[in-house]
Amino acid sequence: MLAELDTIRTEGIATLEGISDETSLENFRVNYLGKKGRLTTVSAGMRDVPPDQKAAVGAKLNEVRTALTAGIEQRLSSLQAAKDAESVKGIDVTLPGRPARSGALHPLTRIRDRAIQTLRRMGFALADGPEIETEWHCFDALNTPADHPARNEKDTFYLPDGRLLRTHTSTVQIRTMESAKALPVRIIAPGAAYRRDEIDATHLSVFNQLEGLYVATDVSLADLKGTLEYFFQDTFGPQTQVRFRPHFFPFTEPSFEIDIKLEVKGQEARWIEIAGCGMVDPAVFEAVCKSRGDKLFDPEKVTGFAFGMGLDRLAMILHGITDIRHLIENDARFLSQF
């Protein structure tokens, strides 16, 4: 048996030297080391070896197995090295590499992150809520009368079960007050809103809003004005002029539209509407108290302000975008500018 093992080793090593592909190498492994291979067949005869020869034959068997296994691994390494060399043959490694194009954040993402950073520095926390809402959270709690145009099916996306796609992120303000444990409440709510608008250069049926709410025992109109003036000057530059115009919203009283003076080189400066705001209407606090079953937001003891703005509109003003549809079309020629 010792002579037979030497023969297997000699023949195996010689065969390995002539193997030129991985498939043949795998066939060799099976023929020599597989369950029915030559070496396995010989090792099965160990039971017939005289006791005084078992140690020598066992050692030789392990020696041959180790030699063949090492030979297979070495040959596999050589074949893989040759394949790698062939794959890069003809490549000039001294040529400079081709730079990979780096991406950039979408302009909507950039303005949202920038707005959040500014307001977080002012003490506002992030809040979130569902995009599928109840009429109570979207309209009733916000003091919106039953005959208000926004509640019409021509303006709002209603679901078969009576729920709707939120028309503003003011619903997050109501849900935050419902779950608040104590005062003050100071939150911002960025997110998507949905309305049945005809899509054109300035309108989309799905758009991005950012709303804010601050409620405490001594919040004043001066706090609202100072907060928003600082925000818009931080966003558009310290020289930005901000104007508050009296307006009406069902959920704030008094209410204001906010304009900023836009100055573009080569064009006459003009005022443009950019946001809405106001002091929270006492009726909103009463609705929240009724829902909560307590008096944490007692309108006789607390005051607050709220504001809301379209992030799409902020992005358009900041980057000089003339058509809101560019923000959703994913045109690489447009996005590469940012």
Question: pLDDT digit string (tens) for 53-75?
Answer: 778 777 877 888 888 888 889 88
> Does 224 score more than 90 pLDDT?
yes
* Each residue's pLDDT tens digit, 294-324: 999 999 999 999 999 999 999 998 888 989 9
Residue 101 is predicted with a pLDDT of: 80
Query: CB of 168 within 8 A of CB of 308?
Result: yes
Name the token pair of 227.
């907060």
Distance CA 23, CA 79 (A): 11
Query: CB of 65 within 8 A of CB of 10?
Result: no
pTM higher than the cut 0.75: no
Cα torsion 193, 195, 199, 202: sign = negative
Reported as a pLDDT band with limits 50, 70 and 90, residue 333 is confident
* Each residue's pLDDT tens digit, 83-118: 888 887 888 878 888 888 888 899 999 999 999 999
* Count of other CB atoms within 10 angstroms of residue 181: 6
Query: CB of 306 within 8 A of CB of 280?
Result: yes
Classify domain 107-335 at the CATH topology level: BirA Bifunctional Protein; domain 2 (3.30.930)
* Count of other CB atoms within 10 angstroms of residue 219: 19
Q: How far is CA 241 from CA 112, 121, 229, 267, in A?
A: 21, 21, 8, 17
Reported as a pLDDT band with limits 50, 70 and 90, residue 184 is very high
Residue 11 is predicted with a pLDDT of: 84
Residue 135 is predicted with a pLDDT of: 95
Reported as a pLDDT band with limits 50, 70 and 90, residue 14 is confident
Distance CA 293, CA 301 (A): 16
Please give the distance of CA 290 from its chain centroid, rounded to a whole number: 37
> Does 325 score more than 80 pLDDT?
yes
End-to-end CA separation in angstroms for the chain:
78
Check the annotation: does 4 bind a ligand. no
Residue 17 is predicted with a pLDDT of: 85
Mean pLDDT of the chain: 90
